[in-house]
Amino acid sequence: MTSEPTLGDVLSEVEAAIAAGDHDRAIALTDDLLQSYPDAIGVWRARAEAFDASGRPFQASEAYRRVLDIAPADVNAMRRLALALSHAGQGAEAKLVARQALDYAPEDEALLRIVAARDAEDAEWPEVGAALREGLNDVRAGLFDRGITRLHSVVAQCPDRADALVALAHALWEAGLRVAAAEACQFILDIQPDCLNAHALLLALWRRIGPPGLEQAHLNAIERLDPDHRHVKALLGDDSPLEVVSVPAVRQPSAQSAAEEAEALDRAAWVSDLVAAASSAPKPLERIAQPFSANDATYPLERDDALIAAASGDEVAAAVAGDVVHLHDAAGADDDGMPVESLIPLEWEESDDVSGESGAAASVWLTDAVDAEPGGSVPMPPQPTRPNVSAGGASPEWVANEATMPTWIAQPKPHTPRRGASRASLAGLMATSRAAAAREAINRGRWQEAMSLYEKAIALGRGKALDEVIADLAALSTVQPLARAAHELLGMAYARKGDMNAALQAYRRAMILATEA
């Protein structure tokens, strides 16, 4: 019994057919492969070479364009595309592509002839080739600071050149600036969603520091663009999160395709709900409320969590409800509260600048650690005190925007639990409950307890409940700019919402604080 041919086996047959001059067979083989792998970069490269060798410049140029959609920095594909466009009589576009390729290979005679031809008008082209080559050489030599500076200048002059952005992203990655590399990759995907380099780097990043699930979109893209992972392995080498595998040349339709399609539609609807909820959520620093009385401090939602879960028969909700921290039970506990566990996706250790913020730093804009008086109400938090700058004391960083600091975090309107609530609504109610408990913990000066409650609220939150948590954490990170835990949790909340650009900004700020600690 013969083994089933793999994708790599058939691509080897295509190469052999091209070498033997049997171009029609080579093209027919790529036709068959595209039925199973319509976006695979290896198939498109082989197809472009087959059309090129058979003297069909129009079809070859289209295939090379698809290769550059997936691998923008493929200099060989740039060169061959310029030649194919020139042979097809598209002189103006051929010159543009040739100049882009000459930025990498300035002495290529065939490309120089295309640029020197007078069959089309010369378009303006920024002279960035020298800076690009020098930047790449610096990175190869390990001179990352100088190389990254030069590549940044190239990107500033040519922000729409995906190849330059790819070079910058790889340079940042090799320099160990993972978050900055991820930001560059996100920008690349905004202009070229199928860029294999960007998906590979983001997959490697989330596999290292991210919670489960964030890498799935990039893994799915790689499975579509590079099914056997050969090109990802060639791009990243030892840093590759994937090993080369063998995949069948003919992929059978999955029996679960209908179910996966339905799940994708459900997820798309959920994302639409998140976007709608985010558009109506209050902005940070605007959610200012009146003080509450001692009778409200127990938060009916926390008391009813277990009752709601029991009424709906939801075992998961019941388990989570049992984990609620009731502040009136912890009023006499130590001010240090419960420790904040290592946070994903960065999983950093808690540092001294955060662990001590339950006292001095938290009292900047919130009340001191006070308990409600037996027969009265929780006092209003005092206004932030101004440091005595005239006495020679340095003005702390947080004083700069004192006029915009909130003096209270809003209390959400109480919700009345409904019978037969769904699991999603139960999770939302419990997320709101924990966010409310976190606000009370902050107002009592229990910083670490509040951070732990916010972390639980993020794990349960969706839609408006998650937007409320994001608004709280954004306010905290604004008035407490040195509180690393607040920035980490804000990044986690944005990541759960799906706003990866905002998440990366928050994580980057937290990383800066971690290095400065």
pLDDT digits 0-9 by tens, 114-164: 998 876 566 667 788 899 999 999 999 999 999 999 999 999 998 889 999
pLDDT at 14 over 60: yes
Domain boundary among 93, 110, 125: 125
Q: 0.75 cut: is pTM over it? A: no
Pair 340, 485: CB distance under 8 Å? yes
Q: How many other CB atoms are found less than 10 A from the CB of residue 421?
A: 18
Instruction: State the DSSP code for 297.
Output: T
Residue 416 placed within a domain: yes
Categorize the per-residue pLDDT at 501 as very low, low, confident or very high, splitting at 50, 70 and 90.
confident
- The pLDDT of residue 312 is 42
Domain boundary among 104, 125, 146: 125
Count the domains in the chain.
2
With a CB cutoff of 8 Å and minimum separation 6, the contacts of 303 are: none
Categorize the per-residue pLDDT at 427 as very low, low, confident or very high, splitting at 50, 70 and 90.
low
Residue 421 placed within a domain: yes
Question: Rounded to an integer, what distance in angstroms lies between the CA atom of residue 471 and that of residue 474?
Answer: 5
Q: Length of the chain in residues, anyone?
A: 517
Residue 248 φ then ψ, to 5°: -65, 150
The two three-digit tokens of residue 321, written as one number: 């409800």
Question: Which domain, by its residues, includes 406?
Answer: 294-383+398-516
Residue 511 φ then ψ, to 5°: -65, -40
Residue 141 placed within a domain: no
Residue 327 placed within a domain: yes
Residue 221 placed within a domain: no
**Better-predicted residue by pLDDT, 383 or 74:** 74
Categorize the per-residue pLDDT at 344 as very low, low, confident or very high, splitting at 50, 70 and 90.
very low
Question: The CATH number of the domain where 2 resides is what?
Answer: 1.25.40.10
Domain boundary among 73, 103, 125: 125
- The pLDDT of residue 154 is 93
Residue 263 placed within a domain: no
Pair 69, 43: CB distance under 8 Å? no
Residue 35 placed within a domain: yes
Question: Rounded to an integer, what distance in angstroms lies between the CA atom of residue 407 and that of residue 188?
Answer: 40
pLDDT at 288 over 80: no
The closest alpha carbon to 227, from 250, 200, 245, 213, belongs to: 245
With a CB cutoff of 8 Å and minimum separation 6, the contacts of 126 are: 157, 158
The closest alpha carbon to 64, from 37, 91, 84, belongs to: 84
Residue 172 placed within a domain: no
Categorize the per-residue pLDDT at 291 as very low, low, confident or very high, splitting at 50, 70 and 90.
very low
Tokens 């690349």 — which residue?
A: 188
In angstroms, the first-to-last Cα distance of the chain is: 64
Pair 150, 131: CB distance under 8 Å? yes
